[in-house]
Amino acid sequence: MAEPNHMSLELPGAQNGAHPSSENGTAPALPDEGRRYAQIIGWGYAVPEKVITNQDLEQIVETSDEWIRTRTGIEERRVAADPKETTATLATTAARRALEVADLHPSKLDLIICSTSSPEHIFPSTASIVQDAIGAVNAGAFDLSAACSGFVYALSMARGHILAGDAEYVLVLGAETLSRVVDWTDRNTCVLFGDGAGAVLIAASQVPGGIIATELGSDGSGADLLTIPAGGSAMPASLETVSSGNHFIKMDGKAVFRFATRVMADATKSVLERAGLTPEDVDLVIPHQANLRIVQNSVLKQLKVPEDKVFVNLQKYGNTSTASIPIALCEAIQAGKVKPGDKLVFVGFGAGLTWAACAIQWSVPTEAAATDWWKNTRRQAGYQAAAARSMWRRAVRWVYHVWPTDPESGALPGDEGIKEPETAVNGVRHSEE
Ligand code: ACO
């Protein structure tokens, strides 16, 4: 973690050091020197190339384009068809894009939080795999499990670390390859989900705004309504669990639907209250992209937020679970729907059962920066260096493994030549003081 006294006075990025603006988007906001704020300064997303349309699904299960569109709003989704494309590779691409927008070197990151329900493994964390791939040599890393609400949970964790002075830069990832845990013979679930990843970079700042309030909730009495029953300690993997399909998503859709429409509205109301705002103050709501009817019955009908203030892109990607809000944020930015001074709400629900909302006052410019060939080349070289560093460390461990060690000290002959760097061992920065 970074030392707390390195607080940034100005926001780096977005778009190469541009200054954050005030509420009306004209004059720069003045730094509030006594306080810390958690500002979003970078964003990026990645989705697989392979598109699966509703018509494609008609060939797999007994369903129809008409049923899927009218009951969910989904038209197509992306699926990681290439086995080499995983939750970590999608997250890595999204992370690199977010770092690029913020123009921040990965070594500056203090913490990486990856929210996912389809991690690479039970352990190690997907966050650690991304940390290695991007060369974030000074960052701690962990995964967070709160299903589709996870991205907003992770934003809340990031904000907490920053406000406590424990971190200056936190990378928050929401990444899924749910296509790997969907039962492609179950029409109740396989038509709903898609793969993808989104990332945002949060920075400590003295500029007022950023993530101003969060609201998290859980009701574990509904744990069985949406679950992957097997593969954990309650039902370890066995021939029987595999043959009975218990490693796939099981869902009571109707019950989840009822829960979702209630908590999306309630969580939004609560977070706005905490932020001292009303629904009329909100410029854009980015809801979890699960089902158009859930969005209509909650945010639009109950809170009376007008349609043009609610961003929806689920028709293209389906429900990408925890990745849906950051992907939608990136597309809202691309569509020119986010500008400095805007008040945003992110709100999600998911397995657990869980729900989460956060209120944000956006503070950085969102226009795309001109491509800088030199910086881009340097960045690519940095990622090659990160890959080389990772290989070197694996090679060193292999040598330790095959070479007979001194039983007293565990040292290898000629150890000095292959010592790991003192400043960043296993991602933990060692203080010089
Ligand atoms: N194609 C055709 N018919 C279908 C399909 C399908 N893909 N899926 C279900 N049906 C049938 C059902 O079998 C049922 O038939 P029956 O009446 O003969 O029994 C009929 O359609 C109606 O089913 P309902 O369950 O009433 O349909 P509903 O309007 O509730 O829509 C849906 C189902 C889309 C699943 C909805 O309940 C929903 O979106 N629920 C929320 C799910 C969700 O968001 N989950 C993700 C949470 S996030 C996370 O943590 C991963």
Token pair listed for 383: 């990622």
Atom of ligand 1 nearest to the CA of 290: 44
319 is catalytic: yes
From the CA of 253, how far away is ligand 1's center (Å)? 5
The binding-site residues of ligand 1, defined as CB within 6 angstroms of any ligand atom, are 63, 67-68, 71-72, 147-148, 187-188, 191, 226, 251, 253-254, 256-257, 260, 290-291, 319, 321, 350-351
Rounded CA gap, 114 and 102, in Å? Answer: 19
- Alpha-carbon distance of 248 to 238, in angstroms, equals 14
Partners of 42 in beta bridges: 201
Question: Which of 257, 288, 294, 320 has most ligand 1 atoms within 8 Å of CB, for mutation?
Answer: 257
Q: How far is the CA of 299 from the centre of ligand 1 (A)?
A: 20
Q: Residue 259: which residues within 8 A CB-CB, separation 6 or more?
A: 219, 222, 225, 349, 353
What is the C-alpha radius of gyration for the chain, rounded to an integer number of angstroms? 22
What are 375-409's pLDDT values in tens digits? Answer: 889 999 999 999 999 999 888 888 877 766 666 66
- Name the residue among 215, 216, 288, 294 with its Cα closest to residue 262: 294
In the chain, what is the greatest distance between 2 CA atoms, to the nearest angstrom? 72
- pLDDT tens-digit profile of 97-141? 999 999 999 999 999 999 999 999 999 999 999 999 999 999 999
Q: In what order do the strands lie in the sheet with 140-144?
A: 37-46, 196-205, 169-176, 111-115, 140-144
Q: Which pLDDT tens digits describe the chain residue by residue (433 residues)?
A: 333 333 343 454 444 333 344 444 444 466 777 789 999 999 999 999 999 999 999 999 999 999 999 999 999 999 999 999 999 999 999 999 999 999 999 999 999 999 999 999 999 999 999 999 999 999 999 999 999 999 999 999 999 999 999 999 999 999 999 999 999 999 999 999 999 999 999 999 999 999 999 999 999 999 999 999 999 999 999 999 999 999 999 999 999 999 999 999 999 999 999 999 999 999 999 999 999 999 999 988 899 999 999 999 999 999 999 999 999 999 999 999 999 999 999 999 999 999 999 999 999 999 877 778 888 899 999 999 999 999 998 888 888 777 666 666 665 455 554 444 444 334 334 333 3
Active site residue 297: no
Which residue among 63, 65, 71 has the greatest number of ligand 1 atoms within 8 angstroms of its CB, and so is best to mutate? 71
Nearest residue (by CA) to ligand 1, atom 9, is 188
Residue 77's DSSP bridge partners are 52
What residue's CA is closest to ligand 1, atom 29? 71
The verdict on whether 330 is a catalytic residue reads: no
Q: Could you tell me where the DSSP H helices lie in 338-418? A: 373-402
**How far is it, in rounded angstroms, from Cα 312 to Cα 333?**
13
Return the ligand 1 atom nearest residue 63 CA: 1
Torsion of CA 357, 273, 161, 93, to 10 degrees: 30
- What the chain holds in terms of domains, given with CATH numbers, is 12-19+30-361 (3.40.47.10)
- Asked if 1 and 110 count as a contact pair (C-beta separation under 8 A), the reply is yes
The number of helix segments (H) and strand segments (E) in the chain equals 12, 15
